[in-house]
Every structure is written in C-alpha cells, then in structure tokens.
C-alpha cells in the first residue's frame, strides 16, 4: 500500500496530509455512540489492513490487528477513512520531517502545520473527517491543534491504551484526539479510554467529576517568550482577559521548574528512551532515517544506565517543586505554540525552530499532567493562535468543561471550514446536576460589575447569542451600577439584542432571583433561533423617558460607545 501522494501540493491540494486512504472507509459497528462519524489515524497507530510506516518506508509493516484505541472507536460505530502523515517516528513538532512531504497549515500553505501529528490536524481543520487520532509525547497532539484552529485533547497518561502504537518515548507517550469542538473530543475520549493490561503504562484512573470552581484561579508563567512574534504575544494577553471574563483570577507562577523539566526531554539521558523504542530497526537501518530525526534518535545511544537514573531523579525533583503551584491555582494557561514559522524557515533551521514550537508543551507528559489545546484567536495576519489549559492527572473532564466555555466565548469558526461552532453540550463524565438557563443582557454579563452574582452561585457561561428582533433596550437612569432595561415590543418591530446564556444550579436559582430589584424581573425571552429562555426584562412603564439604546445592539456596545472606544 503506497502513499496516496508524495507531493504536498499536487493539483493544488495538500495531499501530503494523507499517507494512505482505502477505496472505502473501514466501517465500525452499525450503531453506537459514535455511529456515522469518520476518523483518521496517525500512521504510527496500527489499523489492520493498512500499512504502518511511521513516515519511514523501510520501517513499514502490515499489522494483523487494530491498536486498542482503534478497536474501541470502531466498536463505538466510527469508521476509519485512512492513515495520516507525521514527522518521522513522531519526532518533531513542525510537520516537515516526512519523506511523504511537508503538511502545510490549513490557513496558509506557506506555514507549517505543526507536528508530529501534522496530517491528523490538517484533515480535521479542513473538514475531511469528524475527528482524528494523533500521539503526544512532547506536544504533538497540541501544537498542530493550536496552529490550525482546532481542539487537541491530550489526556492523562495511561487513560487511553497505547497498545498497537509505535512508541516514541513509551513511558510518556499519550494518544491524542483532534476535533473542531471540545464536546466531540470529549465524546471520543469517553469511548477511547479504558485500562488495557497489554499496555505496560496503562492505568486505572478516577477522573474528577466536578467542574472547576466558578471562581477559579489560573496560573500564568512569570516569563513568556514569543520569539519576536508580537501578534502571538498580543493574542495571549487577550486570552488572559478572556479567562478573567469567565470567572478566573490570574496568578503568576514560577515557570523555572517547568522549563527545566522540559529541557530534560532532549538534553539528558531521557532521550535514550527514543533510541530504545526503535533500537532493533535503527541499529540496522540508521541510514534510512532522515535528518534531523536520525541525530535525535542516535543521540540516545551514548548514555549509561547510571545517566538515565540521574536524569529520572532530576525529573522527579523538578516535579516536586512544580507541583507546589497547584496549591495556588486550579489550572495553568500557556500559549500552545509561541509563534508560527514557514515551511521554508523550518527547513533552514530545523532544530532550533522546532524546539521553540515546544517551549510550552514539553514538560506536560514528563510531569504527568493533562492538557487541552483550544482555539483562542485568529490573528490580524489570518493565522490561528491557540492556548493550552493544563491541570494535574485526572482533570480531563474539568479541562474539557472549562475549555468548551472558553472556546465558545471566542466566537471562532470550526477549524478552517468557516462553519460556526454548534451549541455547547454537557461534557461526558461530569456529574449531572439539575440546572436552569438564565439569559442576561446588562450588568451581569461577563466582566460586568454584577457578574459575580452568577459565578459565586456556580453558574457557567453556555453561549453568547441574541434575542429575536422583538425588543427595545433602554439605559435606565439612576441605577447603581448602571443597568439597562429590556422591554418586549410587537414581534419584528424591535431589535436583536446581544445577551449571554448562563447555566445555574437549580438550588441557587431562588437566591439569585430574590436579588433582582424592581423594575427588573424574570420572564421568557424569545431568542434569534426561535427558542426561549428565562431572562431579565423590564417593566415598560419604568422605561418611559429612558434613553433608547437599541441601535447599539447590546449593553456592552453601548458602554463602549459611551467611552468613545471599541471594547
């Protein structure tokens, strides 16, 4: 089975994203939780009937069985559409280290896709599949997600079996899931996870089933480097603001132990594990391995067992120091990748620039954390910027819940498809609690003076949307803090007014409503999509003589106009 195409831009299409596509997809079960969904598999993961190459033709073999993760997803009803390109032997973070061609960025083919799960990220971002499998040792399941405006879920180590996966550094390897929404990635995780005795690093994990606190604390490294990329730096500053608006309080953390742990992956005897994973093949076919992958793997040959013991002890010590930060924060926020590089730049300087891309990813698996890369912004130059949320092992559902809230607050499209995000859905694995949806239009909006009345009651932001064009919005005089009044008018004779919908625990709803002062109250609001939700309204008599601000389209826009600047 030969690669479909080795020319990355043949016929104007980046066919290098695929290594092999069968004539027809490999169908899964006729029914199941993932029935009808199509997925791609990184070509270091076994699919029976499809060659596994790990992007090295002479390494290629025909597996007789599916990797455990593939078997579980097929059993859940999903179907395999093919094998995707990668940095050879999953050794790289840029997507150019493959004899089958460099996989370009989904937004600009001059730029790298990120790696090593380059092809998997590309086919998700361009809508060719619903989700894809990758692997993640030092960031390979996160960097491509951040550079292509998609979600990259890097679960806790051992949560998904790596049986049937060509190892990179087996003790820290993880399967990764790419999707355009957090909710879908979480659905896939729910089906993919499970203990597997055939994987020596698989383990039974109890995942936290409660969301992070409504008023949560997020860590921000005390020193961040964007390698001269001012657009990335500005996008990260905005991400801090956005997490604040979701109820977070930033806490500065010392990044030194994390940076030192990250450096050990390639600058210590830990790199010997990469050599150990491929020793039989590498010792006999070293010349078949492309540079700089050959030098990286070969660099693991010269270390002694004592060297490895020392490096492992050093890593454990750094982990002890780093873990103290979890006493002060609930989640850590970092850029997924600190900058973008062109394919030409990476080929000219393949080692240094590749390392730069992993500046904020390498430490995560080494220190046994879970991570989720989520889209954050489209920069002024049109390139995506993503952030990664990191928390201790077992926090996978919590990260998914916060990540979904963050992603939907951005208003970004799905990958490079231009399609809007669907409505958010409950995250699999989190405990279900009775709740009520509440729409707010004024001082309770994210970042506004009364928003704490929502967050301190455990309410979470579901989405930002608009009313039907059946309302007028007034600036009510003499209110502290300033508040608007939403008044219903005849259908179609008013304006569509911006609002947020929050999900509040039912047991907290009564105390919240009791705090609403007249002339405001709660009634069912008609939304732009034709549905209804409980939300703030104002008595029409109280708005008489008040300034009609409906033409601004919402309270936030009105306040920005009052300040004379755009928010």
pLDDT tens, residue by residue, 58-79: 999 999 999 999 999 999 999 9
**C-alpha of 342 from chain center:** 22
How do the domains of the chain map onto residue ranges? Answer: 10-410, 435-563
pLDDT tens, residue by residue, 469-511: 999 999 999 889 999 999 999 999 999 999 999 988 877 888 8
Greatest Cα-to-Cα distance within the chain, rounded to the nearest angstrom: 86
pTM of the model: 0.79
**CA distances for 498 relative to 18, 394, 423, 475, angstroms:** 42, 37, 16, 14
Q: Which one, of 94, 105, 111, 122, lies nearest residue 180 by Cα? A: 122
User: Are 40 and 132 within 8 A, CB to CB?
Assistant: yes
pLDDT over 70 percentage in the chain: 96
pLDDT at 522 over 60: yes
pLDDT of residue 52: 98
Q: Alpha-carbon distance 561 to 218, whole Å?
A: 31
Over range 412-435, report the average pLDDT: 88
Q: Alpha-carbon distance 279 to 445, whole Å?
A: 57
Backbone angles phi, psi at 240, to 5 degrees: -65, -45
Superfamily of domain 10-410: Amidase signature (AS) domain (3.90.1300.10)
User: Are 214 and 455 within 8 A, CB to CB?
Assistant: yes
Q: Alpha-carbon distance 554 to 288, whole Å?
A: 62
Domain spanning 435-563, CATH architecture: Roll (3.10)
List beta partners, residue 526.
532
Quick one: pLDDT band at residue 443, thresholds 50, 70, 90? very high
Residues 6+ apart with CB under 8 A from 313: none
SS3 per-residue string spanning 41-88: EECCECECCECECCCCHHHCECCCCCCHHHHHHHHCCCEEEEEECCCH
pLDDT at 15 over 90: no
Over range 422-437, report the average pLDDT: 82
Quick one: pLDDT band at residue 524, thresholds 50, 70, 90? confident
pLDDT at 309 over 50: yes
Q: Which one, of 499, 491, 480, lies nearest residue 537 by Cα? A: 499
pLDDT tens, residue by residue, 535-554: 999 999 888 889 999 999 99
Give the helix ranges, DSSP H, for 150-255.
182-192, 230-245
Based on its alpha-carbon atoms, the radius of gyration of the chain, rounded to whole angstroms, reads 25
User: Are 98 and 86 within 8 A, CB to CB?
Assistant: yes
Quick one: pLDDT band at residue 10, thresholds 50, 70, 90? very low
pLDDT at 344 over 70: yes
Query: Residue 91 corresponds to which tokens in the numbers above?
Result: 């050794």
Backbone angles phi, psi at 56, to 5 degrees: -135, 100
Would you put residue 468 in left (φ > 0), alpha (ψ -120 to 50) or beta?
beta
Q: Alpha-carbon distance 283 to 41, whole Å?
A: 28
Catalytic residues: 42, 116, 140
Backbone angles phi, psi at 217, to 5 degrees: -115, 130
User: Are 254 and 356 within 8 A, CB to CB?
Assistant: no
Other Cβ atoms less than 10 A from the Cβ of 476: the count is 18
Judge residue 336's burial from the number of C-beta atoms within 10 Å of its C-beta, 0-12 exposed, 13-18 middle, 19 or more buried: buried
pLDDT at 566 over 60: no
pLDDT at 3 over 50: no
Q: Which one, of 498, 494, 480, lies nearest residue 540 by Cα? A: 494
More confident residue, 8 or 509: 509
pLDDT of residue 506: 76
């Amino acid at each position: 089975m030969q690669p479909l195409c080795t020319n990355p831009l043949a016929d104007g299409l980046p066919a290098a994203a695929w290594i092999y596509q069968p004539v027809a997809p490999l169908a899964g079960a006729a029914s199941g939780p993932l029935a009808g969904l199509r997925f791609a598999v990184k070509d270091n993961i076994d699919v029976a009937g499809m060659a596994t190459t790990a992007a090295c033709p002479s390494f290629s073999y025909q597996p007789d069985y599916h990797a455990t993760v593939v078997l579980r997803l097929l059993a859940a009803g999903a179907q395999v559409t093919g094998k995707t390109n990668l940095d050879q032997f999953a050794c790289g973070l840029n997507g150019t280290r493959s004899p089958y061609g460099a996989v370009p960025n989904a937004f600009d083919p001059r730029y790298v896709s990120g790696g090593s799960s380059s092809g998997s990220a590309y086919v998700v971002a361009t809508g060719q599949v619903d989700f894809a499998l990758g692997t993640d040792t030092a960031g390979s399941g996160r960097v491509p997600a951040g550079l292509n405006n998609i979600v990259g879920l890097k679960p806790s180590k051992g949560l998904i079996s790596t049986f049937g996966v060509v190892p990179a550094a087996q003790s820290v390897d993880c399967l990764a899931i790419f999707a355009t929404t957090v909710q879908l990635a979480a659905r896939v995780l729910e089906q993919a996870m499970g203990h597997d005795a055939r994987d020596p690093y698989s383990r039974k994990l109890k995942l936290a089933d409660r969301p992070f606190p409504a008023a949560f604390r997020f860590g921000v490294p005390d020193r961040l480097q964007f390698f001269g990329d001012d657009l990335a730096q500005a996008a990260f500053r905005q991400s801090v603001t956005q997490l604040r608006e979701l109820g977070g309080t930033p806490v500065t953390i010392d990044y030194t132990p994390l940076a030192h742990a990250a450096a050990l992956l390639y600058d210590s005897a830990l790199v010997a594990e990469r050599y150990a994973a491929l020793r039989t093949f590498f010792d006999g076919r070293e010349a078949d391995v492309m540079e700089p992958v050959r030098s990286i793997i070969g660099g693991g040959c010269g270390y002694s067992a004592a060297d490895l013991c020392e490096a492992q002890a050093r890593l454990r010590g750094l982990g002890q120091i780093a873990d103290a930060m979890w006493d002060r924060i609930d989640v850590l926020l970092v850029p997924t990748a600190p900058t973008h590089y062109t394919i030409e730049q990476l080929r000219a300087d393949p080692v240094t620039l590749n390392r730069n891309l992993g500046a904020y990813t390498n430490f995560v698996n080494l220190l046994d954390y879970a991570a989720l890369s989520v889209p954050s912004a489209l920069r002024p130059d049109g390139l995506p910027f993503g952030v990664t949320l990191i928390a201790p092992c077992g926090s996978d559902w919590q990260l998914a819940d916060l990540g979904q809230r963050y992603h939907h607050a951005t208003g970004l499209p799905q990958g490079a498809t231009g399609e809007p995000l669907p409505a958010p859905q409950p995250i699999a694995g989190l405990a279900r609690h009775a709740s009520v949806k509440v729409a707010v239009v004024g001082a309770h909006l994210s970042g506004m003076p009364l928003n704490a009345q929502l967050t301190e009651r455990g309410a979470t932001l579901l989405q930002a949307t608009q009313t039907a064009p059946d309302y007028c919005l007034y600036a009510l005089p003499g209110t502290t803090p300033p508040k608007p009044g939403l008044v219903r008018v005849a259908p179609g004779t008013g304006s569509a007014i911006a609002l947020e919908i929050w999900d509040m625990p039912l047991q907290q709803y009564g105390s919240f409503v009791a705090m609403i002062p007249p002339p405001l109250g709660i009634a069912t609001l008609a939304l732009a999509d034709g549905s209804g939700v409980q939300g703030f309204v104002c008595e029409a008599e109280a708005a008489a003589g008040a300034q009609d601000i409906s033409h601004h389209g919402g309270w936030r826009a009105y306040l920005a106009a009052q300040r004379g600047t755009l928010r």
